Amino acid sequence: MKKTLQTEPEKDRLRVSGTDLTRLDAPENYDQLIAAITEIHKRSLERAATAVNQSLVLRNWLIGVYLVEYEQAGKDRARYGENLLAQVSEDLKARGLRGLSVQMLERTRQFYLVYPQVGGKISSPPVRKMDPKSGPAGIRKSSSLMRKSTGLPPLSPELVLRFSWTQLIELIRLDDPLKRAFYEIECLKGKWEAVRTPLPSQTKRAPEEMSRTNRTERMD
């Protein structure tokens, strides 16, 4: 039996061009993985121009979900091993999907791992044992421990979705959650240049600045 997304109240469901994404099936094999990513890609592009950025960000997050889920539970995952992303990229390109290089797929995967809370914007993400407020148990625990070590609460899904994909690429590159939190605030304040091209001196002082920043600012 195929695993489908658990239903939630109508008002809480994420829809793309009238399609309820909470009813999509989780991929159980490689062919389903490719088909799922293709479907998400096509449906996301159908959204209105005013929602292009959020649609792109959500598409990339969902692709990351599918990749992580397949890596963890795909029945034929051993067949592809370390070459999974290269194979996925090649097969998607053959289907006419552009812009999903190996590097891009790795970014979507990392985006999901860094910001699992985006799932709170989707009633029940298409992965097994998914908590709609965060992510799979292992990922949720890891993310939670990283945040607790700095005393920083995670951004709400709504705030994460304010970022452009270009901004998120820069944010997920930062390994230090304290530095990332500092630049998240800079982004939310509209100081994108400081995030896009951080100087070594800026990066070095980021934790110190963060310790003096009122954390409530980024939660407004």
Residues 162 and 117 in one domain: no
Per-residue H/E/C for the chain:
CCCECCCCCHHHCCEECCEEHHHCECCCCHHHHHHHHHHHHHHHCCCCHHHHHHHHHHHHHHHHHHHHHHHHHCCCHHHCHHHHHHHHHHHHHHCCCCCCCHHHHHHHHHHHHHCHHHHHHCCCCCCCCECCCCCEHHHHHHHHHHHHHHCCCCCCHHHHCCCCHHHHHHHHCCCCHHHHHHHHHHHHCCCHHHHHCCCHHHHHHHHHHHHCCCHHHHHC
In a domain, 46, yes or no: yes
Last residue within a domain, chosen from 121, 155, 170? 121
Kindly report the average pLDDT of the chain as a whole number.
74
Residues 99 and 156 in one domain: no
Q: Cβ contacts of residue 169 below 8 Å, gap of 6+?
A: 107
Instruction: Give residue 11's pLDDT.
Output: 46
More confident residue, 177 or 47: 177
Instruction: Give residue 83's pLDDT.
Output: 93
Which pTM does this prediction carry? 0.66
In a domain, 126, yes or no: no
In a domain, 3, yes or no: no
Residues 106 and 161 in one domain: no
Residues 18 and 89 in one domain: yes
In a domain, 2, yes or no: no
Residues 87 and 183 in one domain: no
In a domain, 134, yes or no: no
Per-residue pLDDT of 59-97, as tens digits, reads: 999 999 999 999 998 899 899 988 999 999 999 999 999
* pLDDT at residue 109 is higher than 60: yes
Instruction: Give residue 125's pLDDT.
Output: 47
Residues 177-183 have a mean pLDDT of 90
* pLDDT at residue 5 is higher than 80: no
Residues 152 and 104 in one domain: no
**Could you tell me the residue range of the domain that residue 174 belongs to?**
145-219
Residues 110 and 15 in one domain: yes
Last residue within a domain, chosen from 74, 105, 121? 121
Packing angle, helices 30-44 and 84-94, rounded to 10: 50
What share of the chain has pLDDT > 90, as a percent?
34
Contact 116, 68 (CB under 8 A): no
Residues 25 and 98 in one domain: yes
* pLDDT at residue 130 is higher than 70: no
In a domain, 136, yes or no: no
Rounded to whole angstroms, the Cα distance separating 54 from 118 reads 11
In a domain, 163, yes or no: yes
Residues 24 and 78 in one domain: yes
Instruction: Give residue 192's pLDDT.
Output: 62
What total of structural domains would you count in the chain?
2
Residues 89 and 29 in one domain: yes
In a domain, 198, yes or no: yes
Residues 109 and 156 in one domain: no
Residues 112 and 162 in one domain: no
pLDDT confidence bin for 41, thresholds 50/70/90: confident
